[in-house]
Structure 1
Amino acid sequence: MNWEMIFGVANACALLAWVVLALSPKRERVVPYVFFAGTVLLACLYAGLIIPLMAGLISDGGPAGRPSADFTTLAGVMALFDSPGGATIGWIHYLAFDLFVGIWIARNADQHQIARWLQVPILFFTLMAGPIGLLLYLLLRLITGKKQDDALLPS
């Protein structure tokens, strides 16, 4: 399996989706496309790789003799990421979820008339360090005086 190629394609897909999300002038028209061509495609790629990997049907390309990969122990998770396949699949997981959160932030910010120039840096932080971008957006919602319960709950 060419893990480097899969990694590159996933990155390119996600980056294109982020650029469109951040820069599109009429966002409500493009968000469904970003969602399906970005998040859903990445989620399908993730599922199409993690399921056969965990079932032992494909190789992760990692070194022999390491602990078996599993999600129940730190050593198991480290073993999963200690291979080209595991790292690629883990990265696709991040890409899909961060893009999903970015779409939510962009749509919610548009609904609450938060200027695009404030959204773009938050979307950048969401792309680069997902939870920090989300936290910045929630803080912005609190600071801008929007309804507090709206700022804390996804809507």
Structure 2
Amino acid sequence: MSLELVYVVINALVVPAWLLLVLGPKWRTTQLVVHSGIYPLVFGAFYTICLIASMFFGQSAEGVGMATIAGVSALFSHPNGVLIGWSHYLVFDLFVGAWIGRDAQRRGLPHMAVAPCLIASFLFGPVGLLAYILVRLVKGEGISLFEAPAEGAR
């Protein structure tokens, strides 16, 4: 399988999760698929495989490192490095989107106000989180990221 095809596949794999968050935030399927940890596990495993290939099997450009901007640029100059970085973005953006969905439900925020934030998170990552925090501010919910413990939890 070509790295280009892998890129297309990992992009396609996150779309159902985002659709569930936007179209069916309270559906059981959304709870089972998006909030279960399946995506972080699968994408985390993929990320780890690509990272190991980069570190130990020569699937990286010369001069890769995290200590300088040149080293990070070298990482992203190789297709495997792009897959490493992109899968990192995909899983963390989805993780934030899932948190936004759960937080909004806990706070009773209207989904019509939250859905654009989810779409922005899917497309532009931190912009969606910023938009959600602004929605919370407008609705009088503040910006604290502390969560109340679930009922029955210690």
Using the size of structure 1 for normalisation, the TM-score is 0.85
Q: CA deviation at 1:79?
A: 0.5
Which residue pairs with 1:31 in the alignment? 31
Change (3 A) 1:112 1:27: farther
Which residue pairs with 1:153 in the alignment? 145
What one-letter code is carried by the residue in structure 2 that aligns with 1:15? Answer: V
Kindly indicate whether the alpha-carbon contact (under 8 Å) linking 1:21 and 1:103 is maintained by their aligned counterparts in 2. yes
- Cα-Cα RMSD: 1.8
SS in 2 for 1:99: helix
Using the size of structure 2 for normalisation, the TM-score is 0.85
Deviations 1:46-100 (A, max 9, x none): 1121123122x1524x5xxxx4111111000000001211112111110000000
Structure 2 gaps, min length 5: 148-154
Which residue pairs with 1:91 in the alignment? 86
Kindly indicate whether the alpha-carbon contact (under 8 Å) linking 2:22 and 2:118 is maintained by their aligned counterparts in 1. yes
Identity of aligned residues (%): 36
Which one has a larger percent helix, Structure 1 or Structure 2?
1
Establish whether residue 73 from structure 1 lines up as the match of residue 74 from structure 2.
no
Structure 1 Cα separation of the partners of residues 75 and 127 of structure 2: 25
Q: CA deviation at 1:131?
A: 0.9
Q: CA deviation at 1:28?
A: 5.8
Structure 2 Cα separation of the partners of residues 25 and 138 of structure 1: 18
Following superposition, which runs of at least 4 residues in structure 1 exceed 4 angstroms of deviation? none
Q: Which has the higher contact order (CA 8 A, sep 6+)?
A: 1
Structure 1 gaps, min length 5: none
Kindly indicate whether the alpha-carbon contact (under 8 Å) linking 1:21 and 1:31 is maintained by their aligned counterparts in 2. no
Which residue pairs with 2:20 in the alignment? 20
Kindly indicate whether the alpha-carbon contact (under 8 Å) linking 1:138 and 1:152 is maintained by their aligned counterparts in 2. no
Kindly indicate whether the alpha-carbon contact (under 8 Å) linking 2:25 and 2:101 is maintained by their aligned counterparts in 1. no
Change (3 A) 1:154 1:58: farther
The number of residue pairs the alignment matches comes to: 146
